[in-house]
Chain A
Amino acid sequence: MNNNASGSTAPAPARRRLARRRARGSSLDPHETRRALLLVAPAVAVLALVIGYPVARAVYMSFQADQHLDENGVFVEGGFAGLDNYKHWLLQRCGDVACPPGSTGSSFWEVVWITLFFTVVTVTIELVLGFWFAMIMNGKFRGRGLVRAAVLIPWAIPTAVTAKLWYFIFSYDGIINNLFNSQVLWFGDKWAARSAIIVSDVWKTTPFMALLILAGLQLIADDVYEAAKVDGASPWQRFWSITVPLVKPAVVVALLFRTLDVLRMYDLPQIMTGGGAGDGNDTTTLSILVINEIRNGFNSAAALSTLTFLLVFGVAFLFIKFLGASATGAEGKAKR
């Protein structure tokens, strides 16, 4: 709340303008507020139309029952369903019975668990590797530009191509099995398939993590390190007391981006396993389930996507609340 003090002392126009500039737009006079609203209005209207409408419609649909067949075999609207669609997922109820195996409702909690598992494991590995790569790239050596460009290549390849690439590498007659002279059914067994997906995702997105962290490292001025050296800090102390805290804002943003990405992961497991392996659904992520359900044409898909939205939103909220992540970097700057 910075209803600024300097502006309220009835100053000359020039001073007032200066004060306004200092306050960065948060203390416009009524006249200007109206003009600002007018200028923003079209953007707000467009946003309401392209973002608000679909979201609101999805929530509305999630309370509608599915279409069902009438006696002529023609679909008719199902009407209001209350919380049935949410019960379908959260309590795994199909009508009055527990959802039988082979119906989408039966796999909800398992799928949530799989998605969270992928998220925690891949993001952790990517953070460690990404930090390491960033430290290397931050050093001064010949061909640094080339290395930085080369590291980016996996990230520049479209995910669908990456997925197909690793699909061939992990296939039964593929490179991995030939290299290790093994006969692992990479896409048939539960943990083998999950590892294959994790390896591919780590390969693909570690560069992204590394680059964001590198950007953070570059912001740390060299003289901070020199001062620490003069004070006799060991390399280990310099790392923990200078590098880690100063790079934290960049790391948190990178973590947030990647976490949200994996929570909505679709193409990699879809192309590599189709969500299969193990008991048949052991690599199904939430997004795969949502897409399958939408294809089914069921309104429970709207409930599922609402739940997915809430999960992703919740995770993003926790990140911002507890780790102080800020996608724009403005808050990080303010703290420093």
Chain B
Amino acid sequence: MRHLRTASSLTALALVALPLAACGGGDGGTADDAFKAHLKDRGPITYVQGKVNDNATHGIIDKWNKLHPEEKVTLKEQTDEADQQHDDLVRNFDAKNADYDVVSVDLVWTAEFAAKGYLQPLKGDLAVDTDGLLDSAVKGAQYNGVQYASPTTSDGGMLYYRTDLVKTPPTTWAELFAACDIARQAKIDCYAGQFNKYEGLTVNASEAINGAGGSIVAEDGKTPTVDSPEAAEGLQVLVDGFKNGDIPKSAITYTEEEGRAAFQAGKLLFLRNWPYVYGLASGEASSKVKGKFSVAPLPGLDGVGASTLGGHNTAISAFSDNKATAIDFVNFLASEEIQKDYMEKGSLAPIRADVYQDPALVKKYPYLPTLLTSIENAVARPITPFYQAVTKAIQDNSYAALKGDKTSEEAVKDMAAAIKAASGQ
């Protein structure tokens, strides 16, 4: 009896709610209307980014506010978690909120947000000043040939190596694995990157594929190009490394931190990681490799490899009420002075080549020239509105290949098929 009553009241609820749901489906004005509005308007704006855990951002915003008392920027911090930042942005854009004027977007979200009409195309009055910016970083903020954001900070992978064991760093995979005998004699592991099944694996697999001349998705953001002999050959390098023990078995569970811990404990000859490791491995008291390591560009199949581009872009919300102020602020973040602030105070990699050559900075951060080479040769992860599905396709299939469950050829074939299915073709 009681259940019957519950069931009938649930039905009643559904009857009340269904018409509401039907209303929610429709869509008001088109994105184009939003793009044309408020282009010349000025006033206070809100800048949204993930939780500030550097010492630069607050000072940079203070600098702007001192210079522009009439057009103050308010900082809105999101959580620490990238996924939650993404979801928060989507919710606000979806509601066409004017609360967010300028937003910091992870590189891999740019295409998705652009395709959904959330981001103001940066052309005409709102063009980005790309003078002096690194080419790869500028390209990483484009979708379908249109600039949708401006690069703000960059990042690139580097090869950390032990200078006490290896005199000249390897420039190709063959050279790197040839040096593994040294590791065996020293009774340590040879090479590791990030091979756990998470975003880091996408980064490492893309590097292997791009470094061998392959690619993953075409410029239209939906056609897979990964089913190629080059891509398979690139992936095979890592597969072989696992098979013959040059990459330790445990590396299949490594994220950035496990690899760093192994390297700092002196248990690893070569490590692929981001620049943040440099400061920690040379500064932390527990580090056993202090003064005994250096960095080199990532190896490729025949020459310098292709790092995966990291970093953040800054974009303008299509629903902002003060777009003229917003673009000034975006260009301000990319200016030389601010880029130096990001590097000096926040250790965030600049997007201007000249900052990397600043003698004072190079003295403080000796890895800067190497990082510049890395970023100049860097390739962005697939620029596609279906990024979440594409990264899953890469992760699942390259993980299976690394574990020896399928061949590299099968892996890239399945990757292509999964990308195709995800983009609805």
Q: Which residues of A contact B (CB under 8 A)?
A: 1, 44, 47-49, 51-53, 55-57, 59-60, 64, 66, 68-69, 72-75, 77, 94-95, 97, 99-106, 171-173, 183, 185, 187-188, 274-277, 279-281, 292, 295-298, 320
Contacts and interface: CB of A to CB of B under 8 A. Distances in A.
B115 A279 contact: no
B198 A102 contact: no
Interface stretch (B123-131, B323-331, B333-341, B415-423): B415-423
A101 B25 CA distance: 32
B41 interface: no
A187 B83 CA distance: 22
B253 A187 contact: yes
Contact of B397 (A77, A101, A173): A101
A103 B424 contact: no
Interface of B: 1, 3, 9, 12-14, 16-18, 20-22, 24-25, 27, 31, 83, 86-87, 90, 112, 114-117, 143-144, 196-198, 220-222, 249-250, 252-253, 258, 261, 385-386, 388-389, 392-397, 399-400, 403, 405, 414-415, 417-418, 420-425
Contacts of A281: 396
A100 B414 contact: yes
B87 A103 contact: no
Contacts of A69: 115, 221-222, 385, 423-424
A95 B425 CA distance: 8
Contacts of A99: 418, 421
B252 A185 contact: yes
Nearest to B399: A280
B70 to A, nearest CB: 35
Contacts, number: 152
A279 B405 contact: yes
B86 A75 contact: no
A95 B386 CA distance: 16
B3 A320 contact: yes
Contacts of B1: 1
Contact of B418 (A44, A100, A275): A100
B199 to A, nearest CB: 10
Given A51-B13, A103-B389, A274-B198, A66 B20 contact: no
Nearest to A326: B2
A66 B424 contact: yes
Contact of B253 (A55, A185, A296): A185
Contacts of B393: 102-103
A163 to B, nearest CB: 15
Nearest to B395: A280
Nearest to B1: A1
Nearest to A99: B421
Contacts of B117: 74-75
8 contacts: A56-B20, A57-B20, A73-B115, A73-B385, A75-B117, A101-B417, A279-B400, A281-B396
A77 to B, nearest CB: 7
B118 to A, nearest CB: 10
B196 A57 contact: no
A124 B125 CA distance: 66
A103 to B, nearest CB: 4
A103 B14 contact: no
B385 A75 contact: yes
A84 B124 CA distance: 42
B14 A276 contact: no
B395 A57 contact: no
Kindly name the residue among A73, A105, A279 whose own CB sees the greatest number of chain B CB atoms within 10 A.
A73
A97 B421 contact: yes
Given A56-B21, A57-B24, A101-B396, A72 B144 contact: yes
Given A73-B114, A99-B418, A102-B418, 12 more contacts: A44-B12, A49-B17, A52-B17, A73-B385, A74-B115, A101-B396, A102-B396, A102-B414, A102-B415, A105-B421, A295-B87, A298-B389
A73 B143 contact: yes
A185 B250 contact: yes
Contacts of A47: 13
A300 B220 CA distance: 23
A320 B414 CA distance: 44
Contacts of A277: 197
Given A100-B414, A101-B414, A188-B252, A274 B17 contact: no
Given A73-B144, A280-B400, A274 B197 contact: yes
A8 B153 CA distance: 81
